[in-house]
Amino acid sequence: MHRLLALIGRRLWQLLPIIVFATFVVFSLLQLVPGDPAVTLAGDYASKERIEEIRHLYGLDQPLLVQYGVWLLHAVQGDLGRSLLSSAPVVDLIAQRLPNTIVISTYALILAAAVGIPLGVLAATRTGSRIDGLVTSIASLGVALPSFWLAIILVIFFSLTWHWFPATGASSFMADPLRALWHATLPAVALSVGVIAELARQVRSALIEVLNSQYYRTLRAKGLGPGAMLWKHGLRNVSVTMLTLLGLQVNRLFSGAVVIEAVFAIPGAGSLVAYSAINKDFPVVQGVVLVLVVIVILVNLAVDILNALLDPRAAA
């Protein structure tokens, strides 16, 4: 337990510069807007007085690093400013939208792990076979497939032709989990395909490496059965790789979710960031990007810690 705490502390310390840089990038988004940030934040048709008021309110008359510090201090306390469009607190908007994104992303990740990892294992244990060729081809296809196009094709068949799943919308997971999953199925399937392809590929190559290693050959020479070898030694050795891979997919899932949410008209964090970017609602854009990047960083921290528990060598 003590070792674990020390590990978490060490990882957090290593993460600190990354968190500082990442938050600074989010803060700097506003600086990328051509022209005066105060004019941007005041919105169209703002009076001169209003612009000056905004400049003072947001501390835009302060040096950049001071602005960053103030922004970060507010953000840490849960104050991400207000939407320029609806003047609702950004935190409230994100709280409304984020659960839908989390549902489809988690659903997609589970689907991808359930399909992608076995496919990778299947291909690795039969290298050069037809199954291996098939898995490799599916993986190549999956990586190149635009997920939103797949989503549209799914809608054509599963919603409009066969009426199995709804074509649009989402429903609250807390209120009615089954209904929420029913709504999330097509989006999650579309979202998972790229991840399945990536997982199958990477698990295949990681496992092939283990299967070709010296100690694995020794085990076979000692007469261990193939099943026991694969489960006790082969898969155990790639489990750390698999966890790391799964953690890295969160990034990809959030990226995909933006477009998938647009296809299915899901009120999620992704559709919120796209809508806000088009309508120049920068506090909302910054807020969503910040929350998503923090989730990505935390998930990978959790993966790191789990890995250390699974494999003491990784704790170093």
Partner 1 sequence: MSLATAIVPPPKRSRLSRLWRWMKSDPRAVLSIAYLAMLVIVSVMAPVIAPYSPTEQDVSSLLLPPDGAHWLGTDDLGRDVLSRLIWGAPNSLYASLLAVSVAIVLGVPIGLLIGFIGGWLDDAVSRFVDALLSFPPIVLAIAVTGALGIGLTNAMLSVGIVFAPVLARLVRAQTLVVKNALYVDAARGFGASTFHIIVRHIVPNAIQPVIVQITLMLAIALLAEASLSFLALGVQPPAASWGGMLARAYNYIEVAPEQMYAPGFAILLTALAFNALGESMRVALDPTMKRR
Rule CB under 8 A: which residues touch partner 1? 17-22, 25, 29-30, 32-34, 128, 140-141, 143-146, 148-149, 152-153, 155-156, 160, 251-256, 258-259, 262-263, 270, 273-274, 276-278, 280, 282, 285-286, 288-289, 292-293, 296-297, 300
Rounded CA-CA distance 121/123 in Å is: 5
Nearest distance in Å: CB 223, partner 1: 29
Q: What contacts 111, CB < 8 A, 6 or more positions away? A: 188, 189, 192, 196
Nearest distance in Å: CB 147, partner 1: 8
Between 116 and 247, CB nearer to partner 1: 247
Instruction: Count other C-beta atoms under 10 Å from residue 41's C-beta.
Output: 22
Between 5 and 165, CB nearer to partner 1: 165
Radius of gyration of the chain (CA): 24
CA distance readout (Å), 124 to 73, 142, 213, 221, 241: 49, 18, 13, 20, 15
Nearest distance in Å: CB 236, partner 1: 27
Structure tokens at 201: 């590929």
Rounded CA-CA distance 300/250 in Å is: 9
Between 125 and 239, CB nearer to partner 1: 125
Between 229 and 294, CB nearer to partner 1: 294
Instruction: Count other C-beta atoms under 10 Å from residue 243's C-beta.
Output: 18
Between 13 and 227, CB nearer to partner 1: 13
Between 40 and 307, CB nearer to partner 1: 40
Between 17 and 63, CB nearer to partner 1: 17
Nearest distance in Å: CB 121, partner 1: 19
Q: Quick check: helix, strand or coil at residue 240?
A: helix
Contact indicator for 297, 250 with CB cutoff of 8 Å: no
Nearest distance in Å: CB 294, partner 1: 9
In eight-state DSSP terms, residue 45 is T
Nearest distance in Å: CB 249, partner 1: 11
Nearest distance in Å: CB 247, partner 1: 11
Between 1 and 160, CB nearer to partner 1: 160
**Closest to 239 in 3D by CA, of 276, 282, 207:** 207
Contact indicator for 86, 283 with CB cutoff of 8 Å: no
Q: What contacts 166, CB < 8 A, 6 or more positions away? A: 159, 182, 183, 186
Between 21 and 231, CB nearer to partner 1: 21
Nearest distance in Å: CB 310, partner 1: 23
Residue type at 24 in one-letter notation: F
Rounded CA-CA distance 208/219 in Å is: 16
Contact indicator for 106, 191 with CB cutoff of 8 Å: no
